[in-house]
Amino acid sequence: DVKVTQSSRYLVKRTGEKVFLECVQDMDHENMFWYRQDPGLGLRLIYFSYDVKMKEKGDIPEGYSVSREKKERFSLILESASTNQTSMYLCASSPLGAVGEKLFFGSGTQLSVL
């Protein structure tokens, strides 16, 4: 069965900490994505990557960076966590190609910044 794995289901961090959210997929997908989900706002794209070492900003990249050193792994980095980054973070992957390719999602990381 195909799988996107996020390293933590729940995470509690302090303001100012550097936070790493890890995502691994086993489907050899080219595309990987980080979304943020907030009540009433739906899912918003933070960053995505279509190849190793490639990254593109999404709609809300401020305060975040990403790293993709290997095809299967896509990391989201909060350089200095703030309380307004408390949210659910969803990683997803998909093959490169047609408009009909669906996204496969991880189970999410609920991050609380205190």
Partner 1 sequence: AQKITQTQPGMFVQEKEAVTLDCTYDTSDQSYGLFWYKQPSSGEMIFLIYQGSYDEQNATEGRYSLNFQKARKSANLVISASQLGDSAMYFCAMRGRGSQGNLIFGKGTKLSVKP
Q: Determine if 19 is a binding residue for partner 1 (CB under 8 A).
A: no
Report the site for partner 1 in 35-74 (rule: CB under 8 A).
35, 40-45, 48, 50, 56, 58
Query: Any contact of residue 102 with partner 1 (CB under 8 A)?
Result: yes
Give me the DSSP letters along the chain.
Answer: ---EEES-SEEEE-TT--EEE-EEESS--SEEEEEEEETTTEEEEEEEESSTT--EE-S--TTEEEEEEETTEEEEEESS--GGG-EEEEEEEE-SS-TTPPPEE---EEEEE-
Interaction site with partner 1 (CB under 8 A): 31, 33, 35, 40-45, 48, 50, 56, 58, 88, 90, 92, 94, 96, 98-105, 107-108, 110
